[in-house]
Amino acid sequence: MVIVIIGIIAGLTTRFLGDTVSGYVTTSIYDQLARSGRLAVERVNRELRNAAPNTIRVSGNCIEFLPLVASASYQDQAVTYAATSTASIPAPILNISAASDRWDVFDLSFTPVAGTNYYLLIYPYGPGSGAGDPYQGTNPGPLVGFQTIDTGTALPAGVTRVQAGASHRFLRHSPVRRLYIATQPVSFCVLGNQLLRYANYGLQAVQPVPPPAGSAQVLATEIQTTDPDIPFTAAFRYQSASLVRNSVVALDFRFMRNDARGNANWVRLYHEVEVANVP
């Protein structure tokens, strides 16, 4: 009887310990997937918040945008600065001023890094807008390459003269006379079971999906593009800005790992990013 009782107790204890260990392993998997997912969401969130206005475009499970490095207000009047008796150069706007490769901006805090490609933007309309598409490189258009800052002209404090890489005209004024300086495009893509970041591949008229592989950086693994329980549409969804709200990017990341018994453990992270920068 003692042996029988001990056997029953051992069997119950073994089952209890097995369920406890299995529960711990499952919880650990969920925690690891959630932690990895939160890091990925935070990285994408931080970069998207710094996107130049109307430069976000989505294709498949890839999102692309132009990252901002600086902004300023541009001169829109032909005047003479009293402090230095220097004539101003207003920004070249279609049907308002002649094409130019340089113009004045106010309160610009920007130091170019050698070997980095920069772009000057005024009121991009957005991808797919024809001449207003910042990726098309049209002239007139919303984007032109940045070359240098003119330091040889006497200008009053707070005024900087930027020089573009070519003579250019922008399509129209920004409502708040805003000029942005951006760098080369960045893409995030979900390919296979990896979340990848691409950079330094240059401006392209058609969104590259995926961009050149040589610039890829792995941000997360075990990410999925299917889900047996919750319908999956796309990892990135973009809603352009309207008169009553800013543009929004929805991140829908699903992570999955099988445990030792072959059971699938899923974690879903859904996050919306408000892009505050406006033209």
pLDDT in tens, 22-58: 555 678 888 999 999 999 999 999 999 999 999 999 9
Residue 263 one-letter amino acid: N
Give the rounded distance of the alpha carbon of 275 from its chain centre: 9
What pLDDT sits at residue 19?
52
Three-state secondary structure call for residue 133: coil
Q: Which of 179, 185, 234 is nearest to 51 (CA)?
A: 185
What pLDDT sits at residue 91?
97
Q: Which of 144, 146, 160 is nearest to 88 (CA)?
A: 160
Three-state secondary structure call for residue 222: coil
Report which DSSP code applies to 132.
G
Q: Are 124 and 142 in contact (CB under 8 A)?
A: yes
Question: Distance between CA 209 and CA 219 in Å, rounded?
Answer: 17
pTM of the model: 0.88
What are the domain boundaries of the chain?
Answer: 32-64+186-275, 68-183
Q: Residues with Cβ < 8 Å from 121, sequence gap 6 or more?
A: 52, 55, 66, 134, 142, 143, 179, 180, 181, 182
What pLDDT sits at residue 8?
57
Residue keyed to tokens 């829109």: 76
What does the chain come to in residues? 279
DSSP string, 152-201: SS---TTEEEEEEEEEE-BSS--TT-EEEEEES-EEEEEETTEEEEE-SS
Summarised one tens digit per residue, pLDDT across range 208-228 is: 999 987 778 999 999 999 888
Residue 154 in this model has a pLDDT that exceeds 50:
yes
What pLDDT sits at residue 1?
67
Q: What is the mean pLDDT of residues 78-89?
A: 95
Q: What is the mean pLDDT of residues 85-90?
A: 96
What pLDDT sits at residue 6?
62
C-alpha R_g of the chain: 27
